[in-house]
Chains A and B, each alone.
Chain A
Amino acid sequence: MIIDGHAHVGSAQYLQIDMDLAGLLAVADEVGFDRIFVTDLTALFYDMREGNDRFGRLLAGHEDRVLGYVTIPTHRFGVAAADEIRRCVERYGMRGVKMYSHPQSPITETSSTPALEAAAELGLPVLGHFTPDECDVLMQRVPEAMIVMAHMAGQPYALGNWHLAVEVAARHPNLYLDTATSQIDNGMLEYAVEHVGAEKVLFGTDMPLLDPWVQQAKVTGAAIPAEAKQLILGGNVARLLRL
């Protein structure tokens, strides 16, 4: 089973992307993904509640293919972010939390704690657009949280430092790595598997921003055992979500 753990639905000028759920599922069919774990772009870049509600309504009837993230655009909602997580889980059956962050509003501000604690209490993974250093702080503050470091540092704020991402992930049992990134550095997957184990590496594409074929080839083409590829491509998400 292949599960794309990092996909987006909707429209965002910020990223110059625009794709509805039908389009996303058509791409998933084309590439051969069984399930997609999706976050809503309106919630991510404009109105948290409007976006989560719009996406939540779309989930009905697609439960066999689409897993939903509750999207929290900024931790500065504080307790309201925790309430939003509980609301979307209860009303729409969402299975994870997506949190965005950038250096101008660092996720290490303590206002991120209520959302992380709520996610931990509900057993939801948090796909966090966080740097390795930020993850290190958060995991010490809320060690029971299950954080997936989006892009495994392959994003501008983290300066592409996947070596540090792996080092920090090795330090914290509940910190996982997401493979979705523009970076296709030869050896990055092998290094991650060697140092943190395949059980802590989760496949994602960031589609429709990035090319899903390229992202998939990063895993399938890596010099790691077939069992490791199966875990990364879907086994780990299935285990974390008890699918």
Chain B
Amino acid sequence: MRIDINAFFGHWPYWPLPHTSGDDTLRLMDEHGIDHAAITSLRGLHGDWREANAETLALATAHADRMTPIASISPMAGNVDQVLRAAAGAGFRGVRLYPLLLQGYSLQSAFANEVGRVAGELDLLVIVPTRPMMNFRFPTVAVEEIAALADRHPATSFLLSGPNYLSEFNGAIEAMHRCANLAFEVSCMQGFRAMERIVAAAGAERVLFGTGLPLQYPACNVAKLEHAALDTTTRAAVEAGNARRLLGLDSV
């Protein structure tokens, strides 16, 4: 079983993507041995989060055995408590935050803190990337900002996505040592033997496989996982077990 915690479908305003539809995402999953994916419509990053959630839910419902929906949310949403309760009731298992880099709010804002608080009550995973993908055109959100949000909401599970190498990688490890409710998604991490190092430093139960497909080549992260020197138990946790636990996917 392999679960991709960081998958998408849709369009990208910066360049045309070779794969855009839900069927494309399913095809990529099949080609790369990915059994299940936590998915979000890319519309939710820049466009209308309500439409994004509607199409994410529709796709995940149509392929319930292959996909789990992750919601988008915006400061424009108004009543965060109401929006997230409706999302959880509809079947979403997590919510993504794209603060300063794409959506213009701070992780210290009342909005972000309300998401953190309510997500904890609803057992929704909060995914916060430092960057939307590993491309140097995007400014990054500081790992410390994400860790501070996790610190303020210890009852909520957060997933840190986006760090790559050097200071980001080391900062992520320090943040995870400080915040027991912070886990790490690997799709942008490209350093040498980085998988082994993050697992050794943070613990196997806090590292999750992800690809960033279709923004990124899924083959790269599959290779990263398959060639990492991990024992069987650790590999199973990173590949699927941790995602299953954090998303509450008992049946997957």
Interface residues of A (CB under 8 A from B): 15-17, 154-156, 158-161, 163, 182-187, 190, 207-214, 216-218, 220-223
Contacts and interface: CB of A to CB of B under 8 A. Distances in A.
Q: Is the interface of B mostly helix, strand, loop or mixed?
A: loop
Contacts of A159: 136-137
B18 A214 contact: no
Contact of A216 (B134, B135, B188, B223): B223
Interface in B154-184: 164-166
Interface stretch (B53-61, B103-111, B117-125, B212-220): B212-220
B249 interface: no
Which of B133, B195, B213, B227 has the most CB atoms of chain A within a 10 A radius of its CB? B227
Contacts of B227: 213
Counting from the closest, the 6 A-B pairs by CB-CB distance are: A221-B219, A160-B136, A217-B223, A213-B227, A160-B135, A184-B220
Interface in B190-231: 190-195, 213-224, 226-227
Nearest to A163: B15
B85 interface: no
15 contacts: A16-B165, A156-B136, A184-B216, A184-B221, A185-B134, A186-B17, A210-B190, A211-B195, A212-B192, A213-B224, A213-B226, A214-B223, A218-B219, A221-B217, A221-B223
A150 to B, nearest CB: 13
Contact of B166 (A16, A185, A207, A214): A16
A211 B214 contact: no
B19 interface: yes
A184 B190 contact: yes
B208 to A, nearest CB: 17
A16 B169 CA distance: 11
A217 B136 contact: no
A220 B164 contact: no
B216 A214 contact: no
B131 to A, nearest CB: 10
A159 B188 CA distance: 16
Contact of B217 (A163, A184, A209): A184
A186 B165 contact: no
Which of B16, B188, B215, B219 has the most CB atoms of chain A within a 10 A radius of its CB? B219
Q: Is the interface of A mostly helix, strand, loop or mixed?
A: loop
Given A159-B136, A211-B192, A218-B217, A187 B223 contact: no
B137 A214 contact: no
Nearest to B31: A221
Interface of B: 15-19, 133-138, 164-166, 188, 190-195, 213-224, 226-227
B221 A209 contact: no
A190 B17 CA distance: 11
Contact of A182 (B165, B213, B224): B165
Which of A207, A210, A212, A222 has the most CB atoms of chain B within a 10 A radius of its CB? A210
Contacts of A217: 217, 219-220, 222-224
Contact of A184 (B134, B192, B195, B226): B134
Contacts of A218: 217, 219-220
A155 B136 contact: yes
Contacts of A212: 192
A214 B190 contact: yes
A185 B18 contact: no
Given A186-B214, A214-B190, A161 B137 contact: yes
B219 A220 contact: yes
A186 B222 contact: no
A217 B218 CA distance: 9
Contacts of B190: 182, 184, 210-211, 214
B220 A221 contact: yes
A141 to B, nearest CB: 26
A162 B130 CA distance: 21
A190 B213 CA distance: 16
B136 A154 contact: yes
A214 B224 contact: yes
Contacts of B220: 184, 214, 217-218, 221
Given A182-B164, A213-B227, A208 B136 contact: no
Contacts of B191: 209-211
A106 to B, nearest CB: 18
B194 A211 contact: yes
B166 A15 contact: yes
Contact of B136 (A16, A158, A184, A207): A158
A190 B192 CA distance: 25
